[in-house]
Amino acid sequence: MSTHDGITLAQVKSGLAPGQRVLGLDLGTKTIGLALSDTSLCIATPLQTLRRSKFARDSRTLLEIINEHDIAALLLGLPLNMDGSEGPRAQSTRAFAHNMAKLTPVPILFWDERLSTVAVTRTLLEADRSRKRRAELVDKMAAAFILQGALDSLRG
């Protein structure tokens, strides 16, 4: 797991104040999927999907969510290539994190998200969801999938 500012999820967990959570983000080109951890950092739950616009507006919305849900850290899915290298989407995610870090003291961490959207889409297909319903669900469920993977890693 790589991090934005050297802090790990385990360190975030050890420093949690009562009621604090982690917000997982799946950054797409058109949407941002959001998922919320429980306060014990065991379970990730899909929260919502934001339609992307300009960074200023997206960041304002995220800052409101950070305050509303007492967020201790942001966990961004890092879309690595299958060989582990970083392409344009990973660079875009890092740029987003860099810009968010200027606006909030909340630590920003990265989590390898390879195949998360594929796994979620497969699950939704198996659940026989319509194409429209899959499109509504996939981003926030991908965020939950990413966040759950990070939370599971804490438990070893």
Distance separating alpha carbons of residues 47 and 27, to the nearest angstrom: 14
What pLDDT, on the 0 to 100 scale, is given for residue 132? 61
What is the per-residue pLDDT across 41-52, written as a single tens digit (0 to 9) for each? 999 999 999 999
Is 4 within the bounds of a domain? no
Is 69 within the bounds of a domain? yes
Is 3 within the bounds of a domain? no
Is 123 within the bounds of a domain? yes
pLDDT of 21 higher than 90 = yes
Please give the model's pTM, rounded to 2 decimal places.
0.84
| Residue range of the domain that includes 17 | 9-154
Is 124 within the bounds of a domain? yes
What is the per-residue pLDDT across 86-123, written as a single tens digit (0 to 9) for each? 889 999 999 999 999 999 999 999 988 865 555 555 66
